[in-house]
A and B are shown apart, each in its own frame.
Chain A
Amino acid sequence: DQQVKQNSPSLSVQEGRISILNCDYTNSMFDYFLWYKKYPAEGPTFLISISSIKDKNEDGRFTVFLNKSAKHLSLHIVPSQPGDSAVYFCAATSYNNNDMRFGAGTRLTVKP
């Protein structure tokens, strides 16, 4: 069963505009959420995370929003840059668990 879902397999955005990547989860036990970025032929690299006690976490151009009641989180990138073009994975886990569940990923393309 897919406990973490990224329903958009791809997203294309113009350079300088905002990119919004969405993620939904079904397991209410998840209390920690992460975004990973993956370039071709490389492993995923950690981007930003958020604990369930917060609804927003910001790091430079990247902001993650969490809506616990909707079991939804989103990653905002503003302004988007061509170097942001990659596959973005949403992941979820809980503090007492060793199993991090990933979504299927969204391929972001930022056009110059």
Chain B
Amino acid sequence: GAGVSQSPRYKVAKRGQDVALRCDPISGHVSLFWYQQALGQGPEFLTYFQNEAQLDKSGLPSDRFFAERPEGSVSTLKIQRTQQEDSAVYLCASSWRDSLTTEAFFGQGTRLTVV
């Protein structure tokens, strides 16, 4: 595809339910980032992959959050036992280089609402 694609666009989960959010980065992009954007806030870093290696997961808020990129392309962000505070837009971004000092392309995001 031409850009970063995320699915689903919208997800409503009952509290305690597990969810999986998918990111298809731009083909050939080495770096992949996940961000969480709460209402009225800027995006906050969650985790970073370089190819299939998860090099930084310091932003994951709890051990309920798990991300993978097993073949170095598609990535999945999984949230177990969702809580209301997990409600946010989850943004995925990819970049062809291994540094954020080059342009990162963002997807449209997945809006997660936990009820």
Contacts and interface: CB of A to CB of B under 8 A. Distances in A.
A94 B105 CA distance: 18
Interface residues of A, number: 25
B27 interface: no
A39 to B, nearest CB: 10
Given A43-B4, A43-B106, A43-B107, A97 B100 contact: yes
Given A95-B99, A97-B100, A100-B100, A44 B56 contact: no
Contacts, number: 62
B40 A46 contact: no
Q: Is the interface of B mostly helix, strand, loop or mixed?
A: loop
Given A98-B100, A100-B45, A102-B44, A46 B58 contact: no
B43 A44 contact: yes
Contacts of A93: 100-101
Contacts of B18: none
A110 interface: no
A55 to B, nearest CB: 17
A13 interface: no
Contacts of B43: 44, 89, 102
A102 B101 CA distance: 14
A103 B37 CA distance: 11
Nearest to B55: A98
Interface residues on B, range: 20 to 34
Nearest to A4: B42
A43 B100 contact: no
A46 B104 contact: yes
A32 B109 contact: no
Given A43-B106, A43-B109, A98 B42 contact: no
Contacts of A95: 99, 101
18 contacts: A4-B42, A42-B108, A43-B4, A43-B106, A43-B107, A44-B106, A46-B103, A46-B105, A89-B43, A91-B42, A97-B100, A98-B48, A98-B55, A99-B48, A101-B45, A102-B42, A102-B44, A105-B42
